[in-house]
Amino acid sequence: MDSKKVKLGIAPIAWTNDDLPELGSENTFEQCVSEMALAGFTGSEVGNKYPKDTDLLKEKLDIRGIQICNAWFSTFFAVGKEEETIAEFIKHRDFLHTMGAKVIGCSEQSHSIQGLDKSIFNEKPVFTDEEWNRVAAGYNKLAELAEEKGMKVSLHHHMGTGVQTPEEVDKFMEMTDDNVYLLFDSGHMYYSEGTQSSVEKVLNKYIDRIAHVHLKDVRENILGEVKENNLSFLTGVKKGAFTIPGDGIINFDPLFKILENADYTGWMVVEAEQDPALANPFEYAVRARKFIAEKTGL
């Protein structure tokens, strides 16, 4: 892969988990971004311990050679909260624009169970036709707002949401305009479907509309436990369902090949939420960086 076109980032969720604040509560922002840089990454997404003041955040990141490449944004279009979502989105967009990011990764969180104590496989939400229409219309508006700043909106397909399966991704992509992009997450697609082929198919099918990539692996034995015992998403995370690329069941060779053949330009971000007490974030970051270098030459 061409290092002028593809940049490597890592998410702070390995150090401190925003959904489970007790995981990594002892890890500071400074430690997190210092270890990212030391491991050889040049980009980061945004965690809840990051300074909100853009000047201060830039100062802390610049000295470490790290830049912000994306930050999670929750949308609530399906349940009719278009006005509130758009107002919050504009603030989020402007923050990211100030930080130099080009992509805004969004997740449609209406009826989401990802943070609830519900069976992730048996109780996921399914949107009605009316809700799908609201979601598509909303994202088309977000795409226009992003373009005002030369940015791209991308939808993060995610476990426990109404856009999780390949069929739901298809529906979302068909219903939205071409300037609405996909945030492709290898771990979430494998987790949802349990097959290598589903991961490759979604990446291949939408490669021209993928604006951001999350590299995440899955431990199949934990995934099996989650299915068998009807566990929640966050229980699975705590048990170690996710891990860094190369440490789980997913074969990344064909994924990197698809990205390279399509001349993908943008960020690839390691996002492997685990319990930092069980999986030392710095050690895992170093291992992930080495794996990516070996596989892609980056």
Rounded CA gap, 104 and 17, in Å?
Answer: 20
The parent domain of residue 74 ranges over 6-296
Q: What is the pLDDT of residues 10-41, one digit of tens each?
A: 999 889 877 776 776 787 999 999 999 999 99
| Average predicted confidence (pLDDT) for the chain | 96
At 48, is the secondary structure helix, strand, or coil? Answer: coil
Task: Assess if residue 1 is contained within a domain.
Answer: no
As a whole number of angstroms, the distance between CA 158 and CA 161 comes to 6
Q: Would you state the pLDDT for residue 107?
A: 98
SS3 37: helix
CATH of the domain at 65: 3.20.20.150
Per residue in 183-202, pLDDT (tens digit) is 999 999 999 999 999 999 99
Residue 279 falls inside a structural domain: yes
Q: What is the mean pLDDT of residues 249-269?
A: 98
Query: Residue 130 contacts by C-beta under 8 Å, 6 or more apart in sequence?
Result: none
In a domain, 125, yes or no: yes
The contacts of residue 276 (CB under 8 Å, 6+ apart) are: 14, 15, 16, 23, 24, 27
- pLDDT tens digits, 64-106: 999 999 999 999 999 999 999 999 999 999 999 999 999 999 9
Instruction: Give the CA distances from residue 280 to residues 23, 32, 35, in Å, rounded to whole numbers and listed in that order.
Output: 12, 11, 11
- Asked, for residue 205, whether it belongs to a domain, the answer is yes
- Comparing 47 with 129, the larger pLDDT belongs to 129
Res 225 pLDDT > 90? yes
For residue 259, what are the β-bridge partners? Answer: none
Give the long-range contacts of residues 197-200, CB within 8 A, separation 24 or more: 198/166, 199/250, 199/255, 200/254, 200/255, 200/258
- Reported as a pLDDT band with limits 50, 70 and 90, residue 273 is confident
| Domain presence at residue 67 | yes
Phi, psi torsion values for 210, nearest 5 degrees: -100, 120
- CB–CB of 258/215 below 8 Å? no
pLDDT on residue 24: 66
Which pLDDT score, from 0 to 100, does residue 157 have? 98
Distance between alpha carbon 157 and the CA centroid of its chain, in Å? 8
* Residue 61 CA: distances (Å) to CA of 33, 99, 286: 7, 10, 19
Short-list 227, 205, 206, 203, CA closest to 216: 203
Q: Would you say residue 175 lies in a domain?
A: yes
Q: What is the pLDDT of residue 155?
A: 98
Contact assessment for residue 110 and residue 162, using Cβ atoms and an 8 Å cutoff? yes
As for how many domains the chain has, the answer is 1
